[in-house]
Amino acid sequence: MNIGIAKEMSASGKEIRAILLPREVKRLIEEKHRVIAEKGLGLRIGITDAEYREAGAIITRDRHRIFTQDIVVKLKPPLPDEFRMMRNNILFSMLHAEQNPRFVSLMDKVNVKAIAMELIINRAGERLVQCTDMSGEQGMLMAFHVAKKSPRDCRVLLLGYGAVSSGALYVANALGAEVKILRRSEFRNAKHFLRHIDILVNGIAWPKEKRDAKEYIVTRKMLKVMNPYGVVLDLSVDYPNPIESCHPTLISNPTYIINGITHISIFGYPGLAPISSSNRYSKQILPLLLKIASVKKLSRLPNYIKKAIIDPEVFEF
């Protein structure tokens, strides 16, 4: 199979990760696949084109050549002009199609199907391509950075206690912050617990029915009881989500202010640690890409990968 690995161009150049590193490229080559990597793919995280060549990849400046291979691998979804270069091939990428239906419309125009990395899960419901704990860690570090206080002087209120929240909790505890986890039974009294809080962290995966109904745990008005220069750190990046004032941001423009409270809600927190997250993602997607590249028809893929296929012809907007 011919595999094109595209350089990340999103977030005004702030997204600098490489989705596949030379050691994983070498494994693809060993399995008789042809890999074409875009020039400068890993340069911004310290990996030279020579290292990709040594692994067996073909290096090219021709972006059209990358996006016309049988499988196009990219961490972030292609930009509109990148989608327009594709024709009748397969995209393997983080897509988040439900929140970004425009990507599906662009795929439909060029007859492209996608396999969404974020939808590949095991029998226990765990994502196989993820840096969830890293999202919590990096988000918490950024929140402390903009809070105008030492972490030891910060009071943190945490919504949710899943994998993404555990990363935030680890950092907050390690740096000496005072942390309160808001239990489900306490949601109705959220305003009370928000008083004198410096950092509010959302780690809840808000159900679709609650998003559709625009139900909130924390309303915009409640932010007024937080400490001055407070921070809302949204790690789940659903929209709408349990905090009324949240909306997604990008790593190129990560914050905005409402009622004096700085909000952080980045699509792609692991991009704040580009070397670490590139290493993890590359290891995680290799076995999946080997399976995808080994079949001539998507229908022959294992069910756990087939469930992640986005077909524009049947996608419900």
- Domains of the chain, start order: 2-128+274-310 (3.40.50.720), 132-272 (3.40.50.720)
* Cα dist from 273 to 6, 80, 123, whole Å: 20, 26, 29
| Alpha-carbon span 227 to 3, nearest angstrom | 51
Q: What is the pLDDT of residue 11?
A: 75
Q: Tell me the whole-structure pTM to 2 decimals.
A: 0.91
Q: What is the pLDDT of residues 170-205, one digit of tens each?
A: 999 999 999 999 999 999 999 999 999 999 999 998
Residue 84 has pLDDT above 80, yes or no: yes
Tokens coding 153: 């002087």
Tokens coding 142: 């950024």
What single-letter amino acid sits at 113? Answer: K
Q: What is the pLDDT of residue 276?
A: 98
Whether omega for the bond prior to residue 240 falls within 30 degrees of 0, making it cis, is yes
DSSP class of 40: T
Residue 288 has pLDDT above 90, yes or no: yes
Token pair 């909000």 in the structure block, residue: 263
Per-residue pLDDT, averaged over 238-267, amounts to: 93
Mean pLDDT rounded to a whole number for the chain: 95
Tokens coding 181: 């986890």
Q: What is the pLDDT of residue 198?
A: 98
Residue 317 has pLDDT above 70, yes or no: no
How big is the CA angle at 211 (ends 209 and 214), to the nearest 5 degrees?
110
